[in-house]
């Protein structure tokens, strides 16, 4: 058993692509091995900013010959079929095949032998194919290459059982082939020259002495431990951030966390502004003080062990931060000289969408919509009006111009500075929420009204110009907007029928689809949601979900399961008959004729159905869905007896047959008043 | 690489930074060109990059290009923003395998000791909508400060390149502020402190920033500029038909600058903006195609081979 070590060294790979690329490389090489009939025990993949590395253990040094039998066409089959068979089996003519009688006639057979031999002979082909198939999100040519890679590829280590595999990759054009070898390079600044490696253990050790930590998990641990230590030394807490940690581990081969300080003059700028500058623009970790507020320290992770202990690096980073924050402070001071109200005319200059006019026009629509919602949910009309009117005003402030991700947040700060009501200020800050599935939903009435109006306006407006999401295309994030509406309504248990706000029927079904997706993610059975949604017409989401919950609970009971079986039998018989007779559906609509009910079992089902219908109606009206479901429990006995004793399709008396089908259909119709049981899967 | 001129000492002022970079890239085999004599938004617009990036001929060049961004004018009041600034551009086509090492050598040459600093290559893909050009590369950070844009050109004028050019763009003022530790661009020493007449960047350019900002934002005659745009667009098309890509491309540059001025004057609506960008791109594409037609080696005569 032997080890395969593969390293693809290149110029700096974007951090966001590294992990995925390493996994893809592993998958592709492993699939290639399986395809070539080569076994292995374990494969591990690693990535740093400059290399993808794969090590696979437990590969046998050689493969046995494998023979495989292929059945071809019938003897005497057309030439085309014969040629296809020969080509597939790699034979020159039928002389190399044999005839065999299978008992169902004579067929051609070929025995194909896959030559075994040293594994080392097969590996270069597997590596080459994997490299060609590796799906980089974006790739490029370099020099005169015709080959594409994420950035210029520099060298390849390919060792099997400690020996260099014979192979190369040709970038194409005038470029020299990259020949498989045993040498690699260490850290770009902390190591000089190339060095040879013997196997994976040797490789990892030599990389480490050349200042490269191969494993991203170890780099992350070094960053996290180091950053925590630096923070605790100055009594602050590191604001941990998995996404940022992942990215920084992808920007460094030898991470060195360092502590820097924010200039005191910037500490009265809103923390969100400082955080955007630090985290998003400079990839710093922020810290908090004992009071939980943003502290004046940050952690920057360098990719270098500097001769001066990092003084220059920290000073440089502090200076860059100072430059950015000076801009931010300038905007903060400037912006507060004008009121939000005075900025509203500026919205006429910002086009929202070519066909939907300016932000000023959009705000007018939001004001109107928010007013209607406020009435329906009982929010303060004056506050809602003011918040809706001001909700986009911060788009024309200097700060949001420079830091677009602070929209809404800055509106809130400026409103608080102007001493506007807190509920209005909060609504400005909250009205874009929820921004994603993990973002919190607004809960204050004024915020809810403006947040709903913002999203409903976007949905109806884009719908009106035919900009509906299709497939993966959703440039205006309308799915997210619909999901936002759903979450705000459901989480606040708002009794707000949506139809009056949606204008278009297919927009209501778009909501239904979103709701299904959301419920599925919450673990609700999709068929149960489907059974309720497909009743149609329900635009009160809270009521709809109550029905879903009751149905799910009912189906969990013994009575529910049995009734579902009975429903299925009734529906199947009706459906089978409907298939034979196209006009049947019309003939069996409505209640069965009591005079034609002959057997006791029929009569008892009919009266049970009447009883159920009588009980279900008031229960539904009272939104007592559990009660409505419970009413069905009494149906089960009579229906079981019906199926035991009554023949539906009596051949000699068509009027009796029709009446019995009516009865079955009535079972279906009655149950369908609560949910479309045909959607429920077993 | 056989150039015997000794590496100069660390630069101490703006002009020495330029001289150092020129000497360094000359030693790497680059032609040292002079700025293109027209107003343009970035060094990439220079024919030495846009046009030379296309076609099968190798090309190494470096040059300083004054870059005009009318909308970035701040009347000389913002310490870091200018409507006229300098880019230093090196273009190596085809990109040599050691291009990053060569680039890092240029940092050492201008006095950035890579053993004291944290140099990082952060993903940054470049795209110029007006030139129909894009490439992949990085922003190069030095202690968190972006000091260079590094791009491997993949397409120019909507045309896929034959040979990939590595393009290295240094924002000279920003780099100088970093090297010489100045908070304002206007405080940068332009020449050496021990010169007979030591001057700052502000001595040379502050008045220009004030006046040009006033022109860009207040006084540029928009009717005239709209006319200039239309004239340049028409002339460009006419010259393409005459198979004169170089003069045609100059008209494209003119149209682009007129558009930038009109944009700074705020007379182009958001909706129109996109259509102007597309019009300039169409010109750039046509120029690039016409230029490329002059660059292709004649097809080998197959008649002889067959005989």
Note the pLDDT tens digit of each residue in B262-281: 988 888 876 678 889 999 99
Cα(B247)–Cα(B240) distance, integer angstroms: 9
pLDDT of residue B2: 45
Confidence of residue B171 (pLDDT cuts 50, 70, 90): very high
Cα(A307)–Cα(A112) distance, integer angstroms: 65
- Beta bridge mates, A649: none
- pLDDT tens digits for range A210-237: 999 999 999 999 999 999 999 999 999 9
Cα(B247)–Cα(B236) distance, integer angstroms: 8
**Nearest CA to CA, how far is A380 from chain B (Å)?**
36
Cα(A598)–Cα(A589) distance, integer angstroms: 19
Cα(A27)–Cα(A643) distance, integer angstroms: 55
H helix and E strand count, chain A: 26, 20
Those residues whose C-beta lies under 8 Å from the C-beta of residue A74, and which sit 6 or more positions away, are A105, A106, A107, A108
Q: What share of chain B is helix, strand, coil (3-state, %, to 5)?
A: 45, 20, 35
Q: For residues B199-211, give the mean pLDDT.
A: 97
pLDDT of residue A104: 83
pLDDT of residue B307: 35
Cα(A227)–Cα(B52) distance, integer angstroms: 48
Q: Is the model's pLDDT at B218 over the cut of 70?
A: yes
φ, ψ at A304 (rounded to 5°): -160, 145
A264-290 burial, b if ≥16 CB within 10 A, otherwise e?
Answer: eebeebbebbbbbbbbeebbbbbbbee
Cα(A184)–Cα(A283) distance, integer angstroms: 29
pLDDT of residue B304: 42
Q: Which residue of A has its CA nearest to B55?
A: A144
Cα(A283)–Cα(A28) distance, integer angstroms: 32
* C-alpha angle B207-B208-B211 in degrees, rounded to nearest 5: 85
What is the torsion angle, in degrees rounded to the nearest 10, for the CA atoms of residue B154, residue B158, residue B163 and residue B164? Answer: -20
DSSP notation for A138-172: S-B--TT--S-BSS-EEEEEEEETTEE-S-EE---
Q: Is the model's pLDDT at A410 over the cut of 90?
A: yes
* Ranges A172-186, A293-307, A467-481: which has the least confidence: A467-481
A255, two tokens:
């991470």
Cα(B168)–Cα(B150) distance, integer angstroms: 5
Best residue in B97, B125, B156 for a mutation probing chain A (most A CBs within 10 Å): B97
The model's pTM: 0.79
Helix (H) / strand (E) element for A123: namely helix A119-133
**Nearest CA to CA, how far is A318 from chain B (Å)?**
9
Confidence of residue B6 (pLDDT cuts 50, 70, 90): low
Cα(A666)–Cα(A171) distance, integer angstroms: 73
Say yes or no for a CB contact (<8 Å) between B154 and A140.
yes
Q: Which of A307, A323, A354 sits opposite B115 (nearest CB)?
A: A307
Q: Is the model's pLDDT at A245 over the cut of 90?
A: yes
pLDDT of residue B302: 47
Q: Which of B116, B142, B162 sits opposite A308 (nearest CB)?
A: B116
**A306 Cβ under 8 Å from any chain B Cβ:** yes
Q: Which residue of B has its CA nearest to A352?
A: B270
* C-alpha angle A528-A533-A537 in degrees, rounded to nearest 5: 155
Radius of gyration of chain B (CA): 21
**3-state DSSP assignment of residue A649:** coil
**A300 Cβ under 8 Å from any chain B Cβ:** yes
A94, two tokens:
């039928």
Say yes or no for a CB contact (<8 Å) between B115 and A14.
no
Distance of CA B258 to the CA centre of its chain: 18
Beta strands in chain B (DSSP E): 31-32, 59-68, 84-93, 119-123, 126-128, 133-142, 145-156, 159-160, 166-171
Residues of B whose CB is below 8 A from A15 = 123
φ, ψ at B63 (rounded to 5°): -165, 160
Best residue in B74, B144, B147, B268 for a mutation probing chain A (most A CBs within 10 Å): B144
Q: Are strands A237-238 and B159-160 parallel, antiparallel or unpaired?
A: unpaired
Cβ-Cβ pairs closer than 8 A, A with B, add up to 104
- pLDDT tens digits for range A483-530: 999 999 999 999 998 888 887 778 888 888 888 888 888 888 888 888
Cα(A144)–Cα(B137) distance, integer angstroms: 17
Contact indicator for B61, B31 with CB cutoff of 8 Å: yes
**A16 Cβ under 8 Å from any chain B Cβ:** yes
Residues of B whose CB is below 8 A from A312 = 116-117, 143
Q: Which of A252, A316, A354 sits opposite B143 (nearest CB)?
A: A316
Cα(A512)–Cα(A506) distance, integer angstroms: 10
* Ranges A68-82, A199-213, B40-54, B74-88: which has the least confidence: A68-82
Q: For residues A268-273, give the mean pLDDT.
A: 93
Cα(B121)–Cα(B106) distance, integer angstroms: 15
Q: Which of A11, A143, A351 sits opposite B94 (nearest CB)?
A: A143
Contact indicator for B127, A319 with CB cutoff of 8 Å: no
Those residues whose C-beta lies under 8 Å from the C-beta of residue A281, and which sit 6 or more positions away, are A324
Radius of gyration of chain A (CA): 35
Contact indicator for A638, A604 with CB cutoff of 8 Å: yes
Q: Is the model's pLDDT at B194 over the cut of 70?
A: yes
Say yes or no for a CB contact (<8 Å) between A316 and B145.
yes
Cα(A606)–Cα(A565) distance, integer angstroms: 18
**Nearest CA to CA, how far is A209 from chain B (Å)?**
17
**Nearest CA to CA, how far is B98 from chain A (Å)?**
9
Q: Which of A307, A308, A320 sits opposite B145 (nearest CB)?
A: A320
Q: Is the model's pLDDT at B198 over the cut of 70?
A: yes
**A20 Cβ under 8 Å from any chain B Cβ:** no
Ramachandran bin of B93, using left for φ above 0, alpha for ψ from -120 to 50, beta for the remaining angles? beta
φ, ψ at A675 (rounded to 5°): -165, 155
Say yes or no for a CB contact (<8 Å) between B143 and A152.
no
Cα(A340)–Cα(A352) distance, integer angstroms: 19
Return the number of other C-beta atoms located less than 10 Å from residue A213's C-beta. Answer: 22
- Angle, helices A636-645 vs A600-621, to 10°: value is 150
Q: In terms of pLDDT, which residue wins out, A583 or B295?
A: B295
B221, two tokens:
């005659």
Residues of B whose CB is below 8 A from A351 = 269-271
Residues 39-58 of A with CB under 8 A from B: 49
Positive or negative torsion for Cα A247, A251, A256, A260: negative
**Nearest CA to CA, how far is A353 from chain B (Å)?**
8
Cα(B121)–Cα(B166) distance, integer angstroms: 15
**Nearest CA to CA, how far is A45 from chain B (Å)?**
22
Q: Which of A173, A300, A306 sits opposite B116 (nearest CB)?
A: A306
Cα(A530)–Cα(A515) distance, integer angstroms: 10
Cα(B225)–Cα(A581) distance, integer angstroms: 77
Residues of A whose CB is below 8 A from B94 = 142-144, 173-174
Residues of A whose CB is below 8 A from B120 = 251-252, 303
**Nearest CA to CA, how far is B146 from chain A (Å)?**
9
**A136 Cβ under 8 Å from any chain B Cβ:** no
Cα(B286)–Cα(B252) distance, integer angstroms: 10
Cα(A306)–Cα(B142) distance, integer angstroms: 13
Say yes or no for a CB contact (<8 Å) between B136 and A140.
yes
CA distances from A461 to A388, A473, A477, A547, B132 (A): 17, 17, 13, 31, 32
Q: For residues B65-93, give the mean pLDDT.
A: 93
Beta strands in A11-119 (DSSP E): 42-47, 51-59, 62-63, 66-74, 98-101, 106-114, 117-118
Cα(A662)–Cα(A205) distance, integer angstroms: 81
State chain A's mean pLDDT as an integer. Answer: 91
**A282 Cβ under 8 Å from any chain B Cβ:** yes
The residues on B that touch A, with CB distances below 8 Å, are 80, 94-97, 100, 104, 114-123, 125, 135-136, 138, 142-145, 152, 154, 161-164, 166, 178, 269-271
* C-alpha angle B277-B279-B280 in degrees, rounded to nearest 5: 65
Q: Which of B119, B136, B269 sits opposite A189 (nearest CB)?
A: B119
Q: Running DSSP on this structure, what letter comes out for residue A65?
A: -
Q: Is the model's pLDDT at A644 over the cut of 70?
A: yes
pLDDT of residue B216: 94
Residues of B whose CB is below 8 A from A138 = 125, 136
**A151 Cβ under 8 Å from any chain B Cβ:** yes
Those residues whose C-beta lies under 8 Å from the C-beta of residue A282, and which sit 6 or more positions away, are A300, A317, A320, A321, A324, B144
Interface predicted TM-score of the whole assembly (ipTM), two decimals = 0.91
pLDDT of residue B5: 53
Residues of A whose CB is below 8 A from B121 = 11-12, 49
Q: For residues A312-329, give the mean pLDDT.
A: 91
Q: What percent of chain A has pLDDT over 90?
A: 55
Cα(A395)–Cα(B295) distance, integer angstroms: 48
**A461 Cβ under 8 Å from any chain B Cβ:** no
Q: In terms of pLDDT, which residue wins out, A50 or A648?
A: A50
Contact indicator for A482, A437 with CB cutoff of 8 Å: no
Q: Find the DSSP H helices in A277-380.
A: 282, 311-335, 359-377
Q: Is the model's pLDDT at B305 over the cut of 50?
A: no
Q: Find the DSSP H helices in B79-154.
A: 99-109
Closest CA to B132 of B98, B91, B161, B103: B161
Q: Are strands B84-93 and B59-68 parallel, antiparallel or unpaired?
A: antiparallel
pLDDT of residue A67: 74
Say yes or no for a CB contact (<8 Å) between B116 and A143.
no
pLDDT of residue A81: 87
Cα(B137)–Cα(A150) distance, integer angstroms: 10
Q: Which residue of A has its CA nearest to B184?
A: A323
Say yes or no for a CB contact (<8 Å) between A143 and B97.
yes
Ramachandran bin of B63, using left for φ above 0, alpha for ψ from -120 to 50, beta for the remaining angles? beta
């Amino acid at each position: 058993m032997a080890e395969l070590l593969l390293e693809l060294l290149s110029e700096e790979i974007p951090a966001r692509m590294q992990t995925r690329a390493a996994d893809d490389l592993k998958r592709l090489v492993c699939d290639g091995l399986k395809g070539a009939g080569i076994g292995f025990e374990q494969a591990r993949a690693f990535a740093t900013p400059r290399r993808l590395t794969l090590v696979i253990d437990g590969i046998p040094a050689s493969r046995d010959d494998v023979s495989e039998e292929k059945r071809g066409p019938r003897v005497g089959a057309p030439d085309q079929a014969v040629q296809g068979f020969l080509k597939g089996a790699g034979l020159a003519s039928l002389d190399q095949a044999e005839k065999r009688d299978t008992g169902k006639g004579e067929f051609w057979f070929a025995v194909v032998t896959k030559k075994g031999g040293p594994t080392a002979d097969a590996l270069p082909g597997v590596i080459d194919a994997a490299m060609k198939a590796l799906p980089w999100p974006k790739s490029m040519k370099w020099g005169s290459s015709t080959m594409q890679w994420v950035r210029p590829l520099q060298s390849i280590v390919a060792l099997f059982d400690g020996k260099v595999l014979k192979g190369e990759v040709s970038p194409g054009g005038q470029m020299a082939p990259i020949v498989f070898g045993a040498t690699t390079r260490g850290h770009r600044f902390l190591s000089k020259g190339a060095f040879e490696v013997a196997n994976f253990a040797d490789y990892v050790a030599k990389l480490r002495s050349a200042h490269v930590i191969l494993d991203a998990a170890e780099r992350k641990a070094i960053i996290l431990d180091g950053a925590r230590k630096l923070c605790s030394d100055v009594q602050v807490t590191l604001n941990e951030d998995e996404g940022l940690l992942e990215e920084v581990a992808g920007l460094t081969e030898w991470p060195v966390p360092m502590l820097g300080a924010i200039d005191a003059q910037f500490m009265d700028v809103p923390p969100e502004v400082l955080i955007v500058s630090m985290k998003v623009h400079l990839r710093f970790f922020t810290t908090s003080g004992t009071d939980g507020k943003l502290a004046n320290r940050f952690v920057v992770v360098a990719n270098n062990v500097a001769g001066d202990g990092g003084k220059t690096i920290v000073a440089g980073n502090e200076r860059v931060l100072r430059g950015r924050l000076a801009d931010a402070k300038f905007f903060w001071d400037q912006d507060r000289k004008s009121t939000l109200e005075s900025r509203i005319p500026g919205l006429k200059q910002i086009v929202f969408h070519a066909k939907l006019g300016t932000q000023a026009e959009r705000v007018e629509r939001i004001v109107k919509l928010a007013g209607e919602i406020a009435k329906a949910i009982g929010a303060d009309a004056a506050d809602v009006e003011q918040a809706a009117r001001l909700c986009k005003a911060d788009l024309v402030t200097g700060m949001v111009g420079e830091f677009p991700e602070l929209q809404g947040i800055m509106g809130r700060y400026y409103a608080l500075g102007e001493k506007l009501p807190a509920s209005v200020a909060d609504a400005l800050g909250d009205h874009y929420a929820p921004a994603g599935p993990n973002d919190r939903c607004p809960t204050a009435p004024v915020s809810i009204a403006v947040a709903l109006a913002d999203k409903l306006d976007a949905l109806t407006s884009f719908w009106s110009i035919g900009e509906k999401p299709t497939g993966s295309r959703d440039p205006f994030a309308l799915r997210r907007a619909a999901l936002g509406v759903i979450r705000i309504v459901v989480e606040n248990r708002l009794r707000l029928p949506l139809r009056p706000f949606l204008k278009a029927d297919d927009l209501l079904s778009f909501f239904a689809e979103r709701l299904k997706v959301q419920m599925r993610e919450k673990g609700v059975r999709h068929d149960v949601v489907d059974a309720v949604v497909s009743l149609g017409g329900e635009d009160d989401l809270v009521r709809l979900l109550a029905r879903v919950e009751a149905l799910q609970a009912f189906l969990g009971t013994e009575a529910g399961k049995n009734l579902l079986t009975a429903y299925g039998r009734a529906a199947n018989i009706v459906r089978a008959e409907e298939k034979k007779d196209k006009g049947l559906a019309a003939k069996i609509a409505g209640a069965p004729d009591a005079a034609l009910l002959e057997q006791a079992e029929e009569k008892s089902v009919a009266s049970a159905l009447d009883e159920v219908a009588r009980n279900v109606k008031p229960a539904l009206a009272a939104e007592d869905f559990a009660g409505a479901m419970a009413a069905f429990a009494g149906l089960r006995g009579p229906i079981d007896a019906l199926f035991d004793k009554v023949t539906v399709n009596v051949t000699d008396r068509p009027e009796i047959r029709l009446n019995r089908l009516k009865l079955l259909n009535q079972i279906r119709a009655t149950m369908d008043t609560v949910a479309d049981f045909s959607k429920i899967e077993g | 690489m056989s150039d015997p001129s000794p590496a100069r000492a660390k630069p101490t002022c703006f002009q020495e930074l330029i001289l150092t970079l020129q000497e360094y890239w000359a030693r790497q085999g680059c032609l040292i060109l002079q700025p293109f004599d027209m107003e343009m938004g970035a060094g990439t617009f220079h024919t030495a990059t846009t046009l030379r990036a296309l076609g099968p001929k190798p090309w190494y060049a470096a040059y300083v290009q004054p870059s005009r961004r009318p909308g970035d004018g701040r009347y000389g009041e913002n310490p870091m923003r200018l409507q006229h600034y300098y880019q230093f551009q090196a273009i190596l086509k085809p990109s040599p395998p050691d291009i990053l090492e060569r680039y890092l050598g240029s940092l050492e040459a201008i006095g950035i000791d890579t053993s004291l600093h944290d140099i990082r290559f952060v993903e940054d893909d470049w795209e110029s909508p007006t030139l129909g050009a894009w490439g992949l590369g990085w922003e190069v950070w030095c202690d968190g400060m972006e000091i260079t844009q590094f791009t491997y050109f993949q397409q120019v004028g909507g045309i896929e390149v034959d040979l990939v050019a590595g393009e290295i763009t240094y924002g000279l003022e920003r780099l100088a502020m970093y090297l010489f530790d100045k908070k304002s661009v206007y405080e940068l020493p332009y020449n050496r402190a021990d010169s007979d007449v030591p001057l700052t960047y502000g001595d040379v350019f502050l008045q220009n920033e004030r006046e040009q900002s006033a022109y860009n934002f207040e006084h540029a005659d928009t009717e005239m500029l709209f006319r200039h745009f239309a004239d340049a667009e028409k002339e460009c098309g006419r010259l393409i038909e005459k198979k004169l890509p170089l003069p045609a491309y100059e008209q494209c540059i003119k149209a682009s600058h007129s558009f930038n001025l009109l944009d700074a004057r705020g007379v182009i609506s958001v909706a129109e903006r996109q259509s102007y960008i597309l019009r300039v791109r169409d010109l750039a594409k046509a120029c690039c195609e016409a230029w490329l037609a002059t660059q292709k080696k004649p097809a080998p005569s197959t008649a002889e081979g067959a005989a």
